[in-house]
C-alpha cells in the first residue's frame, strides 16, 4: 500500500522539478545540494534522463528536454477537446482583442492548455502547461461549478484555499456561495483573484470527455468589467462554447 511505489522514479522526477526550481537550468553539484542527495546519485539520474531525452545537456548544465513536450502533446489531445477548442480560442482572442485561454482539470489542479493573444492582450504568462489552483481562477471556478459539492470538498481538502492575491476566495462557505451563483448564470467571474489588476470571465465546456474543461477571456479590470465590454465578452464566450460543444457532440 505504501511501498507500491518506485523510489528511484520519484527521485528522477524530483530531479526534473529541481531543475525547474533552480530556474530551468542546473549543474550536478548545484542540484545535489538543492535536493540533499549525493552527487553521484544526481549524476546517474541525469545521465539516464538525458538518454531518454527528458533532460538536455549543454556543456555541464542540464535543462528540461523537449521529449517532455512530446508526452505533453499526447496529454493534451487524448480526447478531441484540445483540437476542437483551439481554433475557437483563437477566434475569441481575435474578436475581443484580449487574452483567451483553455484550461483542463486533472488531479485537482487546473492546467492552462492553450492560450491565444488578441491585439491588445496583456502580457501575462499563462504559459502552456502551467498549473493553477482551481479556486483562484475564473476558469477553475467555472469547472468547480460543474462538480457536485462533495467532489469540490475533496479537492479543497487536498489543495486547500491558499490566497494568490488579496481578493482570492479563501473561505469555504464563500466558495460554495460563489459556485452557486456561477451555476445560475453559467459564467464565472474573476476580479483580481488570480492576478492584481486583471479580471476574467470564464465558462465551462460540457463535452463528452471525462476531463473537465473551461474557456476564458482575460484582460485589465478596466476593460473587462465595464457593462458593455462585459456583455460582448459574454456573448463571445457563449458562441465559442456552443461551437465547441456542438462539434464534439456530433463526433461522439
The 3-state DSSP class for residue 15 equals helix
Distance, in Å, from the CA atom of 86 to the CA atom of 116, rounded to the nearest integer, reads 9
Among residues 29, 33, 70, 242, the one that binds a copy of itself under rule CB under 8 A: 70
Tell me if 8 contacts a copy of itself by CB under 8 A. yes
The interface mask with a copy of itself, positions 200-239, x = CB under 8 A, is: ----------xx----------------------------
- What residue 29 binds from a copy of itself, DNA, none (CB within 5 to 8 A, per partner kind)? DNA
DSSP string covering 25-73? -B-HHHHHHHHT--HHHHHHHHHHHHHHTSEEEETTEEEE-THHHHHHH
CB atoms within 10 A of CB 172: 13
Residue numbers 39-98 binding DNA by CB under 7 A:
39-41, 43-45, 60
Residue from 31, 32, 81, 111 binding a copy of itself (CB under 8 A):
111
Q: Is 113 in contact with 103 (CB distance < 8 Å)? A: yes
**Other Cβ atoms within 10 Å of 182 Cβ, number:** 22
The C-alpha cell that represents 42 in the structure block: 544526481
CA distance 241 to 249: 12
- Work out what residue 27 binds among DNA, a copy of itself, none; the CB cut-off runs from 5 to 8 Å by kind: DNA
Q: Give me the residues that bind DNA (CB under 7 A), please.
A: 1, 3-8, 11, 27-30, 37-41, 43-45, 60
Q: Give me the residues that bind a copy of itself (CB under 8 A), please.
A: 4-13, 16, 19-20, 24-25, 43-45, 47-49, 51-54, 56, 58, 63-78, 87, 104, 106-107, 109, 111, 113, 117, 127-131, 210-211
Amino acid at each position: 500500500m505504501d511501498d507500491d511505489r518506485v523510489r528511484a522514479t520519484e527521485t528522477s522526477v524530483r530531479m526534473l522539478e529541481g531543475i525547474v526550481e533552480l530556474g530551468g537550468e542546473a549543474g550536478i553539484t548545484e542540484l545535489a545540494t538543492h535536493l540533499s542527495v549525493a552527487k553521484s546519485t544526481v549524476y546517474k539520474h541525469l545521465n539516464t534522463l538525458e538518454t531518454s531525452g527528458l533532460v538536455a545537456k549543454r556543456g555541464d548544465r542540464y535543462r528540461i528536454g523537449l521529449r517532455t513536450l512530446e508526452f505533453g502533446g499526447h496529454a493534451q489531445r487524448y480526447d478531441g477537446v484540445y483540437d476542437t477548442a483551439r481554433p475557437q480560442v483563437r477566434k475569441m482572442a481575435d474578436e475581443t482583442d484580449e487574452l483567451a485561454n483553455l484550461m483542463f482539470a486533472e488531479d485537482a489542479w487546473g492546467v492552462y492548455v492553450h492560450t491565444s493573444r488578441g491585439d491588445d492582450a496583456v502580457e501575462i504568462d499563462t504559459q502552456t502547461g502551467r498549473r493553477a489552483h482551481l479556486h483562484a481562477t475564473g476558469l477553475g471556478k467555472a469547472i468547480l461549478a460543474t462538480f457536485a459539492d462533495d467532489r469540490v470538498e475533496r479537492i479543497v481538502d487536498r489543495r486547500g484555499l491558499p490566497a494568490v492575491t488579496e481578493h482570492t476566495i479563501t473561505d469555504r462557505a464563500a466558495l460554495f456561495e460563489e459556485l452557486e451563483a456561477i451555476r445560475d448564470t453559467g459564467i464565472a467571474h474573476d476580479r483580481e483573484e488570480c492576478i492584481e489588476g486583471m479580471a476574467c470571465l470564464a465558462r465551462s465546456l460540457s463535452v463528452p470527455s471525462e476531463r473537465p474543461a473551461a474557456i476564458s477571456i482575460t484582460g485589465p479590470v478596466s476593460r473587462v468589467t465595464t457593462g458593455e465590454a462585459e456583455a460582448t465578452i459574454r456573448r463571445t464566450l457563449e458562441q465559442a462554447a456552443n461551437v465547441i460543444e456542438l462539434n464534439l457532440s456530433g463526433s461522439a
